[in-house]
Structure 1
Amino acid sequence: YRQFLLYARQIEIRGVDIDNPYYNYIISFTVPDIDNVTVVDYDALEHRIYWSDVRTQTIKRAFINGTGVETVVSA
């Protein structure tokens, strides 16, 4: 397994390699999938990222390669 740091800013989610912080380990998630991220989590078994978006009032997930974006919970 590769170690990476997953982080979120309001309008994007990124993951950088721990040993080389200038290398983006995962594709950057941005608009339209991201609007106002407040929480992000990672499922290492399924290689999925989960995030909550307060503006759209949803919880979404996707694989770290950027595919399979889907809404898990919608208010």
Structure 2
Amino acid sequence: MTQTPERETAQIIPFPARPRSAKPSLREPGRSRGEDRDVLPTCDFGSGWYHDAAMQEDLRKAPPRN
């Protein structure tokens, strides 16, 4: 498959500037996307912690074996 240099690539179309009379943005001013990472809880995926906790709970609820 050959490419020809005449082939047009994608165009980047800029958004028009917001007029000053427009409503203010819903986004809180002064916050960047990087700060949102600090707010989110951290989780340990794939470690089986939920399964381990469920097993421990089942052992506590189970009647004692004789």
Which TM-score band (shorter chain)?
Answer: under 0.3
- Higher-RCO chain (CA-CA 8 Å, sequence separation at least 6): 1
State TM-score, norm by structure 2.
0.18
Q: Structure 1 or 2: larger strand share?
A: 1
Counting helix residues as a fraction of each chain, which structure ranks higher? 2
Of structures 1 and 2, the larger Rg is shown by 2
With normalisation by structure 1, the TM-score equals 0.17
